[in-house]
Structure 1
């Protein structure tokens, strides 16, 4: 009986671990050197990927040179090129921003660009932070 429970527990742990990818860290930005953050990706019960982006010290886009209006988060997967996940708005003393988004393809790279408007279909502005090595 103990072996059945041990096998079931081992199987449950293996399934839980396979539904998550390791967290991805953003590299240091030459444009906003104080900015830092990470990305967590989890697979949900519908086999979609939940992407959670957390960044700190992300200067307001209007203070960049050249000045921009917004930050957009993008994900690239092995199946598709850059897909827009959403907008980041840094707030508070530590200029923190968070985003949760869903995508059907597992992200291999997540990056943040500074853009003039949210209507862009493809990344057009400077890449501020990226998980690409």
Structure 2
């Protein structure tokens, strides 16, 4: 009976995990060593949890021209662009941004910006990808 219960729990976890969409960013000519992925999954309140992971991403101040931060943007189903936040990175091996949004995200992209509180991207686009559903 205990084995059956464990198998059911494992199956439920596997089903819940498989509901996430994963998108891999293409190699960027600006930061070619960076390996960037994004995951999107829906929570019980019908919001979307976005987790962006960047490995080997150079600090924004090391770009040419130097910038102050990386901003993460999404394109939602009506074509609007929304700022998800800043990706904090101080030459770390791994930088992660996890956030919740009510928008169904179709595309996600990263820009290098001089300011972090922008409502529209103005800086250098690092990389862009879309969620295939």
Partner-residue secondary structure (3-state), 1:50? strand
What's the CA shift for 1:80? 4.1
* Aligned position for 1:23: 22
Partner-residue secondary structure (3-state), 1:34? coil
Partner-residue secondary structure (3-state), 2:127? strand
What's the CA shift for 1:16? 3.9
Q: 1:56 to 1:49 in 2, by over 3 A?
A: same
Task: Judge conservation of contact 2:59–2:91 (CA < 8 Å) in 1.
Answer: no
Task: Judge conservation of contact 1:79–1:105 (CA < 8 Å) in 2.
Answer: no
Q: What does 1:44-63 align with in structure 2 at a 5 Å threshold? A: 44-63=43-62
Q: 1:17 to 1:63 in 2, by over 3 A?
A: closer
What's the CA shift for 1:21? 3.9
Deviations 1:27-81 (A, max 9, x none): 1101111111111111001100000000011101011011100001111111241
Q: 1:122 to 1:77 in 2, by over 3 A?
A: same
What is the aligned length?
122
CA RMSD, 1 decimal: 2.5
Q: Tell me the distance in 2 between the aligned counterparts of 1:45 and 1:65.
A: 43
Unaligned runs of 5+ in 1: 1-11
Unaligned runs of 5+ in 2: 1-11
What's the CA shift for 1:104? 1.1
Partner-residue secondary structure (3-state), 2:119? coil
Partner-residue secondary structure (3-state), 1:130? strand
**TM-score normalised to the size of structure 1?**
0.80
Q: Which of 106, 110, 113 is equivalent to 1:112?
A: 110
* Aligned position for 1:81: 80
